[in-house]
Amino acid sequence: MGSHRDVFPDVPALKSQLKDKRDYRIRARDRGAFATIVSPHGGYIEEGTSALARACAGPDFNFFDFQGLRTEEPQELHVTSTRFREPALMTMLAASEVAVSIHGMGEEDDMTIWLGGLNKELKESMLKALREQGFLVNPDSPRHRGESKLNFVNMAKQKGVQLEFPNNLLKTMFVGPRRFAPSGRCIKTTPVFDKFVKAVRQVVHAEKRRLMKLNAAELSNK
């Protein structure tokens, strides 16, 4: 999430002026799952976020990845999260309990993940799990807090969490300078990448179990 002004006010405007599969591409997997994992600025826009979201979704969570395919001025395809609306994503979010969005925040020069979003329980669990894996995490960031109700990540039934990565940390997650392959080939990742994915997946699975227990308890009390 850069601090630049968006070129396109929303996704429909972007789609009307750019060409699918040349300028951008959408990868989506609606599995009817508990959680939807999103990289809204994937591809070359915030390079590395596509691979992270896909790995966090794994074979069992919903996955949505908007990929910018332009290598020159890729940030021009950035549509801010409070205005990011795409039919396939909206359908998945409406049926999901929680959402997780993964972003890059450009040339930030430290190694701290900024953790935001309106699902307080999920945010607290994510903070604990990521710190246990050795990550630096700021749950009270100065910006990119993901606390607007208009942010798509908060449109799941129980809202969601937003993770913002500084470039320096993203660099440690990939082998070599490339963090995205438009061919779809897998990019080589490091153990740092694996640790992050493990933490996110464990937290979302734990939240699913927690909500199932709560629902079961409520039914038994009726």
Q: What is the mean pLDDT of the chain?
A: 94
pTM value is: 0.94
Q: Do β-strands 160-165 and 98-104 pair in parallel, antiparallel, or remain unpaired?
A: parallel
Write down the pLDDT at residue 1. Answer: 45
Report d(CA 218, CA 56) in Å as an integer: 30
pLDDT-based confidence at 2, cuts 50/70/90? very low
Return the CATH superfamily for domain 11-220. Answer: Poly-gamma-glutamate hydrolase, zinc-binding motif (3.40.630.100)
Is a pLDDT exceeding 60 seen at residue 3?
no
- Strand residues in 58-200 grouped as ranges (E): 62-68, 98-104, 112-116, 136-138, 160-165
Q: Which H or E element spans position 195? A: helix 191-220
pLDDT-based confidence at 216, cuts 50/70/90? confident
pLDDT-based confidence at 193, cuts 50/70/90? very high
Strand partners, 53: none
Report d(CA 155, CA 175) in Å as an integer: 34
Q: Which two tokens stand for residue 80?
A: 């801010």
CB atoms near residue 68 (< 10 Å): 26
The pLDDT tens digits for 69-88 are 999 999 999 999 999 999 99
Q: Which two tokens stand for residue 176?
A: 């070599």
The residue with greater pLDDT, 109 or 153, is 153
């913002």: which residue's tokens? Answer: 164
pLDDT-based confidence at 13, cuts 50/70/90? very high
> So where are the chain's domains?
11-220
